[in-house]
Each structure stands twice: as structure tokens, then as C-alpha cells.
Amino acid sequence: MAKFEGLDTPKGLGSLNQHLADRSYIEGYTPSSADVEVFSQINAAPDSSKNPHVARWWNHIASFAENERKAWAAPVAETKAAAPIPAEKKEDDFDLFGEDSAADDEWEKEVQRRADEHAAKKKAAGKGPGVLKSAIIIDVKPWDDTTDLAELEKLVRGIEMDGLEWKASKLVAIGYGIKKLQISCHVEDDKVSVDDIQDKIAAYEDFVQSTDISSFTKL
């Protein structure tokens, strides 16, 4: 696991800020014990004007209850990057927003595993079906490589709807130096329309080129 020291100093927070510039979590694609360990070393909310990536990460981790953070497992190892595109492949044939690498499959499997685990715990506890919920993974694609993805994620997480709860996220390389934001959420089916979520994200038209639903799973 990446080690960070002196998180009570500007230098230490600066190092962590650089680490989180293109990551949603300390290690892997979902919150883990690594996040808990680093989070415990920071005593107050970081200054977003000085360390915006740390502030964004800290606020996200702080949004979880202490008992939820204690239940997080060890980090999921990152998958090796996808092989480069063969030189002979024509540029016209390149799908800029095409299928992602095996890393995406690994992350989606982890989200699905956690959803299944949650459903199994509810069943074991003898709870009825109750409120119907779904776990959704949304791909948010920027216009180009100059888009501020940290600000984009902040805007997306700022969308509030009754029955909507934002979960894990990550940045995924899609070609030519461009990355997309892949973010998951839980929704109450009777209250939240997926189309409404996409419309609200698309409203940030200076940041968002398009959105797609990568995964939709009933909880």
C-alpha cells in the first residue's frame, strides 16, 4: 500500500494531493482499509483551495459512517493497463469511447460483489424486500483532456435527489490522453429515474460530452 507521512504538514498533504490527482481512492477502485488508514491521519477537513484532490477524497470518505468504514476490506489490486493499439490500426477505426480494458470489468465485478453481499445480509437478517433499489454505474465522458475531472466529479456528486446515494468512482483512460469518470450510485426505484440523473449530469455541458449506463443491477 502507498505510504504517506507527515499528513499534518503542507508537504505531506501536497504529496497526498498529487497521488489523488488521478485516483478516487488511495488504492484500487473502491474504498478500502487503505483509505481508512490515511483518513485517520488527517484531523480536519483539508483546504480545498490548497489541496483540492485531498479535500474531494476526504469529504467523500467522511460521508460514510464509521461502522461502514470499519467494514471495508483490503485494497483490490489494480489490473495491468490494456495493451497499446497496434500501429497499423487506422485512426478512423479507433473508437474513442469504445470498450474499456479488463480493469473496468474488475471494478464492475467488485461493485456487483458488494451489492450481492449487501442483499445477502438483508436476506440473512430476515428483512423483506422493502424498498426496491438498484446499483448503477454511469460513464461520464468529458469533451477533451483539458476538462477538470476533479471538478466534474464534484459537480456530479453535488447532484441531490431523494432516493439517490453516490458510491464509488474512478477515472478510466479512453485514449489520446482523455479519461472518463466512471461513478456508481444506489437509487430507490420508485423515486429516482435514471434518465433524470443523466439529464442532470448532462446539464453541465461545459464539462460533459455524454453519459452512458455501464451497469444496472437490482439490489
Q: Are 76 and 32 spatial neighbours (Cβ–Cβ below 8 Å)?
A: yes
Q: What is the mean pLDDT of residues 59-71?
A: 85
**Percent of the chain surpassing pLDDT 90:** 32
Residues near 163 by Cβ (< 8 Å), separated by ≥ 6? Answer: 187, 188, 190, 191, 192
Interhelix angle for 52-62 vs 10-19, to 10°? 80
Lowest mean pLDDT among 105-119, 132-146, 160-174: 105-119
**Percent of the chain surpassing pLDDT 70:** 79
Q: pLDDT-derived band of residue 190, with 50, 70 and 90 as boundaries? A: very high
Question: Rounded to two decimals, what is the model's pTM?
Answer: 0.47
Residue 127: predicted pLDDT = 53
Interhelix angle for 149-157 vs 52-62, to 10°? 30
Mean pLDDT score across all residues of the chain: 81
Q: pLDDT-derived band of residue 131, with 50, 70 and 90 as boundaries? A: confident
pLDDT surpassing 60 at residue 193: yes
Q: pLDDT-derived band of residue 159, with 50, 70 and 90 as boundaries? A: very high
Q: What is the mean pLDDT of residues 199-206?
A: 95
Residue ranges of domains in the chain, CATH in brackets: 10-70 (no CATH), 91-218 (3.30.70.60)
pLDDT surpassing 90 at residue 163: yes
Pick 108 or 216 by higher pLDDT.
216
Lowest mean pLDDT among 13-22, 37-46, 114-123, 169-178: 114-123
What are the backbone dihedrals phi and psi of residue 199, each rounded to the nearest 5 degrees, phi first? -65, -40
Query: Looking only at Cα atoms, what is the longest distance across the chain?
Result: 58
